[in-house]
Chain A
Amino acid sequence: MRYLPLTQPDREAMLAVIGASTIDDLFVDVPEAARLDGPVRDLPMHASEMAVERHMSALAKKNLTAGEAPFFLGCGAYKHHVPASVDHLIQRGEFLTAYTPYQPEIAQGTLQMLFEFQTQVARLLGTDVANASMYDGSTACWEAIVMARRITKRGRAILSSGLHPHYVSVANTMAKFTGDVLDTTAPELVADMDLDQLIAKIDDDTSCVVVQYPDILGRIADLRPLADACHAKKALLIAVVTEPVAMGAITSPGEMDADIVVGEGQSLGVGLQFGGPYVGLFGCKDKYVRQMPGRLCGETVDADGRRGFVLTLSTREQHIRREKATSNICTNSGLCALAFSIHMTLLGEAGLRQLAEVNHAGAVSAAERLSQIPGVELVNESFFNEFTLKLPVEARPVVRTLADRGILAGVSLGRLYPGQDALANGLVVAVTETTTAEDVETLASALQEILA
């Protein structure tokens, strides 16, 4: 019980001050029947640091890590190199162990960082403003749909077939309870995004069109015609970015006139971590800022006229507006936002562009190599660092077999779209700066052998 500083004499002295004879006297309001007379049964007692470390390490060893294997998984979570100083800095106790900056005079570190983060995110996504982060990309996507309903007073959202199926699931779950109508379809294994179909669906009831960029199959397209079509019907264009590194190579959705741009920031500074915690990015046009969910940091001055930062526009939030709030969220992903911001600062524009270039070049090279395998077809016309292969057989068992050989080959569309036979042969392959030429060759020869 090394985390508890009170000694037994302390406890007795404190009980005397309180005027209680035993600790049980402090639990008198708990009905007798609900009190436990000792530690909860069937659970182990306390353990030493060494024993806990041994137990956790044994569990950790049962996983095949991305760093141990040729690794090609993406679809919303990417393996990028994180500079050592990022993790060092986020572990400084004043960042790691601080709470929400409710007392701005002694939280300027967190607040200035959030202001810098908001600016970095807005510039990256091409939006006027950004918030101080959301839980993750999938919940940010749903919040954007709700925000579009608030702005347009309409409840019909059109979701691109290229939107991550988990993001679609989250939206579907929530829509069941809020009454929104979602128009969704599964993707087809074709070269281009579904922009024309989306444009054709927009009508006077449409609150928004949600499109992923690059999409779940890795495809990219110019969003401007879609933005124009949305705006002609007074609907909003929501763009979802799951790979922010791509913004170093391609035009951002905001520059193509998307109204709300959300994203998953995991690629920068945040590890794979088996799915979380991640950091949701959320940017929008200036005119919608008061409809935005989540926390915002703003610049101001102190009583001596010095620049400082505070949490602001809180009249949108749950602790003021209760049931009329823009959202029920009362946190952000502060520490992950810090990691994102530090990584982005280390990269700078020059580094981000180089990183994007290396990613794209590696992906082009891998796509060339893998599509030379007999029977394997590259689906994409365009892509950034992730593309889709159509195998001559179902991809899920192939991924399984390759894992047995120590290769983490990519994400089978069968895993993402169970029961959709038309997609079963699809394999989404991601290549980043961490992928070596040997990795690609290892995957290519193993795949060739299995398919032969």
Chain B
Amino acid sequence: MSINQSGWRPTSPEQNTGTVPASVTGNKALMLEEALIFEIGDTHTTGVDFAAPSPRRGEGRGEGQPSDAAPGTTPHPTLSPEGRGLSRLGNLTRKAPIGLPGLSEPETVRHYTRLSRQNYGIDLGFFPLGSCTMKHNPRLNEKMARLPGFSDVHPLQPVDTVQGALEVIHQLAHWLVTLTGMTSVAMSPKAGAHGELCGILAIRAALEAKGEGARKIILVPESAHGTNPATAAFAGYSVEDIPATAEGRVDTAALKARLGPDVAGVMITNPNTCGLFERDMREISDAVHAAGGFVYCDGANFNAIVGRVRPGDLGIDAMHINLHKTFSTPHGGGGPGSGPVVFSEALTPYAPLPFVENQDGQFVLVEEETAGEHHAGSFGRMVAFHGQMGMFTRALTYILSHGADGLRQVSEDAVLNANYILRSLDDTLDAPFGPSGPCMHEALFSDTGLAAGFSTIDIAKGLIDEGFHPMTMYFPLVVHGAMLVEPTETESKAALDQFIAALRSVAERAKAGDPSLKTAPHFAPRARLDETLAARKPVLVWKDPAPLAQAAE
């Protein structure tokens, strides 16, 4: 392994523009470059201490050896000197090096702290990614999830030693069922897309139980998340698209016309990805049920209606809830998520294992395939253990903080903020569905009207220079050059006004054809990155560079 002990990696000299001197380190004051651990670490360094394999109790411990034992207790049992070579490793003792660099603790802290500073997070500023719902992550959630009673229990402990953990699941389940007006909830799906799969599998199990297994089609509106068709296909279904109307909603007439004995169900997102409420939801549900199918609702945008609308009242049979979106569990740079699925009465018998039941005050974990007759239809287990417990704790903490009244205020403020952005900018940016009525949780704009050669990406990169995370770009696909702005309820009016001013300014530059926008961002840790090169010549792992001498040959 090539090792650079100093941790310093020479970089190409920076362009010396005007009176600003270049920096030899590549650093710029508080904006610090950071090499890879493979360049700054080596395979002998470690940032942790271990008791070296040492004599058994009663025998002496080597001078200066660190001890894992707390003062007053006996050190960890390790091999006796004569047994030191004793291995029960089945003749597979590792011989080859692994190639894993280590860093001391201070170097590790500095490495990851420096990396963190090259990231934008909701703690840093406005993060209006449409349909992603980036809201404030309360730190009480983090504190509660780290209570040892939740963080330090094993999923296979005897159930009477984990009654509190099961009660958390049970309480959260109660809130989810009540807020959605549904019958039951499966807690184990690990993310939204996993929840979609859970819902579709329950639909399929229900149909097969009724002898309706021949239904092989799932209808998916054009504006659906890409996960929806992928999910249906993964569960063994064929997917057929349903068009959107000119005002950005499902074409109800087209959907009804397609229903029939081959249709297993529909997957519909409500509020939808154009930011609109599907007004005909009840009518669609009734038609699908009349035709023998089931209704799956993608609940990614539940935050816009929580506390004001119960999906159960709209005739939905299954809906996943992204806990990280609606209930503020942090998304950590892309996960983990958590996607519990609520079910109607019709689908409840088919829900996956395991689940928690309260039997006379004792919480029971039903996790066996032979789970008793009223769960005999369960389609089985989706994950190894019981789901994202750490996320449940955070979500319940948040829910209890807000209460039923606070959650209602959440949806109201989220919708208010989105409409404020929509109406504040529809004189500058094209809002294709602006005339369709109020938006729900997100405002949708298009790139219509920009100067030739300018598109959504230029606006996005321009916003970076203004200190904002850009909105969602080019989604939904039904809108040309879509820009989907979701402010959420945790932004102040002042933050929105600043964003509106910034987006207005960037949009006006794009309309005027300002060439500096084509090369934005100018102030980010990196200029525009070459994504085509990354895909054409994939470099997915670090490889030790060839020794210099070899390279010179």
Is this pair of chains taken from one and the same complex?
yes
Name the CB-closest residue of B to A319.
B226
Interface check A169, CB cutoff 8 A: yes
Q: Are B393 and A56 in contact (CB under 8 A)?
A: yes
The residue that B282 contacts in the complex, of A34, A79, A415, with Cβ under 8 A, is A34
- Cα-based distance from A87 to B337 in the complex (angstroms): 18
Q: Which residues of A contact B92 (CB under 8 A)?
A: 220-222, 250-251, 382
Q: Which residues of A contact B472 (CB under 8 A)?
A: 102
| A97-B137, A313-B535, A348-B41 known; A66+B153 contact, CB < 8 A | yes
Name the CB-closest residue of A to B103.
A345
Could you tell me which residues of chain A, from 341 to 398, have a CB within 8 Å of some CB in chain B? 342, 344-355, 357-358, 360-367, 380-384
Q: Which residues of B contact A136 (CB under 8 A)?
A: 190, 383-385
Q: Are A273 and B151 in contact (CB under 8 A)?
A: yes
Q: Are A97 and B90 in contact (CB under 8 A)?
A: no
Known: A108-B525, A176-B379, A364-B88. 16 other contacts (CB 8 A): A1-B405, A18-B420, A40-B310, A60-B147, A133-B335, A135-B191, A138-B383, A164-B384, A173-B380, A221-B92, A250-B94, A327-B230, A408-B158, A435-B76, A438-B73, A438-B74
Q: Which residues of B contact A184 (CB under 8 A)?
A: none
| A170-B382, A342-B108, A347-B47 known; A29+B400 contact, CB < 8 A | no
Interface check A423, CB cutoff 8 A: no
Q: Which residues of B contact A338 (CB under 8 A)?
A: 112, 332-333
Min CB gap A23→B, angstroms: 5
- Cα-based distance from A328 to B228 in the complex (angstroms): 8
Q: Are B148 and A60 in contact (CB under 8 A)?
A: yes
Q: Which residues of B contact A28 (CB under 8 A)?
A: 437-438
Interface check B138, CB cutoff 8 A: yes
Q: Are B524 and A350 in contact (CB under 8 A)?
A: no
Shortest Cβ-Cβ A-B pairs, 8 listed: A348-B102, A335-B332, A60-B149, A275-B385, A93-B123, A382-B90, A62-B164, A275-B155
The residue that B44 contacts in the complex, of A14, A324, A348, with Cβ under 8 A, is A348
| A36-B308, A42-B178 known; A104+B46 contact, CB < 8 A | no
Min CB gap B331→A, angstroms: 5
| A222-B90, A247-B98, A274-B385 known; A103+B460 contact, CB < 8 A | yes
Against A, the Cβ 8 Å flags (1 = close, 0 = not) of B108-130 are 11011101111111111001010
Q: Which residues of B contact A64 (CB under 8 A)?
A: 153, 157, 161-162
Min CB gap A450→B, angstroms: 15
- Cα-based distance from A105 to B409 in the complex (angstroms): 35
- Cα-based distance from A327 to B436 in the complex (angstroms): 35
Q: Are B336 and A108 in contact (CB under 8 A)?
A: no
Q: Are B36 and A116 in contact (CB under 8 A)?
A: yes
Q: Are B140 and A302 in contact (CB under 8 A)?
A: no
Could you tell me which residues of chain B, from 311 to 366, have a CB within 8 Å of some CB in chain A? 313-314, 328, 330-338, 352
Q: Which residues of B contact A349 (CB under 8 A)?
A: 43-44, 97-102
Interface check B69, CB cutoff 8 A: yes
Could you tell me which residues of chain B, from 194 to 212, have a CB within 8 Å of some CB in chain A? 194, 196-197, 201, 204
Q: How many residues of A contact B (CB 8 A)?
A: 222
Interface check B20, CB cutoff 8 A: no
Interface check A85, CB cutoff 8 A: yes
Listed by A's residue number, 29 A-B pairs whose Cβ atoms lie within 8 Å are: A3-B401, A4-B409, A18-B416, A35-B308, A38-B408, A58-B164, A62-B167, A63-B153, A96-B332, A97-B123, A97-B134, A106-B119, A108-B526, A124-B100, A132-B334, A274-B385, A276-B155, A276-B336, A276-B387, A314-B535, A320-B226, A323-B232, A335-B335, A344-B100, A345-B111, A346-B103, A360-B89, A382-B89, A437-B76
Min CB gap B89→A, angstroms: 5
Q: Are B437 and A322 in contact (CB under 8 A)?
A: no
Min CB gap B502→A, angstroms: 15
The residue that A327 contacts in the complex, of B234, B277, B412, B525, with Cβ under 8 A, is B234
Name the CB-closest residue of A to B9.
A307
Interface check B309, CB cutoff 8 A: yes
- Cα-based distance from A109 to B112 in the complex (angstroms): 8
Q: Are B68 and A433 in contact (CB under 8 A)?
A: yes
- Cα-based distance from A355 to B118 in the complex (angstroms): 32
- Cα-based distance from A366 to B77 in the complex (angstroms): 8
Could you tell me which residues of chain B, from 143 to 173, have a CB within 8 Å of some CB in chain A? 143-144, 146-158, 160-165, 167-168
Q: Which residues of A contact B449 (CB under 8 A)?
A: none
Interface check B179, CB cutoff 8 A: yes
Q: Which residues of A contact B105 (CB under 8 A)?
A: 83, 85, 346
Interface check A128, CB cutoff 8 A: yes
Q: Are A26 and B464 in contact (CB under 8 A)?
A: no
Which of A46-54, A204-212, A231-239 lies at the binding interface? A46-54
- Cα-based distance from A31 to B239 in the complex (angstroms): 29
The residue that A436 contacts in the complex, of B74, B158, B369, B402, with Cβ under 8 A, is B74
- Cα-based distance from A177 to B161 in the complex (angstroms): 36
Q: Which residues of B contact A95 (CB under 8 A)?
A: 112, 116, 119, 121, 332-333
Name the CB-closest residue of B to A387.
B88
Q: Which residues of B contact A380 (CB under 8 A)?
A: 88
Min CB gap B60→A, angstroms: 16
Q: Are B75 and A119 in contact (CB under 8 A)?
A: no
Which of B252-260, B289-297, B507-515, B536-544 lies at the binding interface? B536-544
- Cα-based distance from A375 to B48 in the complex (angstroms): 40
Interface check B235, CB cutoff 8 A: yes
Min CB gap A344→B, angstroms: 6
Q: Which residues of A contact B95 (CB under 8 A)?
A: 251
Interface check A267, CB cutoff 8 A: no
Q: Are A85 and B539 in contact (CB under 8 A)?
A: no
Name the CB-closest residue of B to A1.
B406
Q: Are A301 and B530 in contact (CB under 8 A)?
A: yes
Interface check A129, CB cutoff 8 A: yes
| A99-B129, A350-B44, A365-B77 known; A59+B531 contact, CB < 8 A | no
Q: Which residues of B contact A300 (CB under 8 A)?
A: 529-531, 533-534, 539
The residue that A40 contacts in the complex, of B45, B89, B157, B307, with Cβ under 8 A, is B307
Interface check B6, CB cutoff 8 A: no
- Cα-based distance from A273 to B144 in the complex (angstroms): 12
- Cα-based distance from A283 to B11 in the complex (angstroms): 31
Q: Are A6 and B492 in contact (CB under 8 A)?
A: yes
Q: Are A14 and B191 in contact (CB under 8 A)?
A: no
- Cα-based distance from A423 to B371 in the complex (angstroms): 20
Interface check A421, CB cutoff 8 A: no
Q: Are A352 and B154 in contact (CB under 8 A)?
A: no
The residue that A45 contacts in the complex, of B388, B404, B470, B491, with Cβ under 8 A, is B404
Q: Which residues of A contact B51 (CB under 8 A)?
A: 358
Q: Are A348 and B534 in contact (CB under 8 A)?
A: no
Name the CB-closest residue of B to A297.
B540
Interface centre among A87, A120, A273, A320 (most CB of B within 10 A): A273
Q: Are B397 and A52 in contact (CB under 8 A)?
A: yes
Q: Which residues of A contact B282 (CB under 8 A)?
A: 31, 33-34
Q: Which residues of A contact B384 (CB under 8 A)?
A: 76, 136-138, 164, 166-167, 170, 264, 275
Q: Are A419 and B88 in contact (CB under 8 A)?
A: no
| A85-B108, A170-B383, A323-B230 known; A328+B334 contact, CB < 8 A | no
Min CB gap B74→A, angstroms: 5
Interface check B227, CB cutoff 8 A: yes
Name the CB-closest residue of B to A367.
B88
- Cα-based distance from A236 to B366 in the complex (angstroms): 35
Q: Are A26 and B438 in contact (CB under 8 A)?
A: yes
Name the CB-closest residue of B to A312.
B534
Q: Which residues of A contact B127 (CB under 8 A)?
A: 99
Q: Which residues of B contact A334 (CB under 8 A)?
A: 331-336
Could you tell me which residues of chain A, from 1 to 42, have a CB within 8 Å of some CB in chain B? 1-6, 10-11, 13-15, 17-20, 23, 25-31, 33-36, 38-42
Q: Are A273 and B47 in contact (CB under 8 A)?
A: no
Interface check B87, CB cutoff 8 A: yes
Q: Are B154 and A272 in contact (CB under 8 A)?
A: yes
Q: Are A52 and B140 in contact (CB under 8 A)?
A: yes
Interface check A261, CB cutoff 8 A: no
| A97-B331, A250-B93 known; A63+B79 contact, CB < 8 A | no
Interface check B25, CB cutoff 8 A: no
Could you tell me which residues of chain A, from 226 to 270, have a CB within 8 Å of some CB in chain B? 247-252, 255, 264
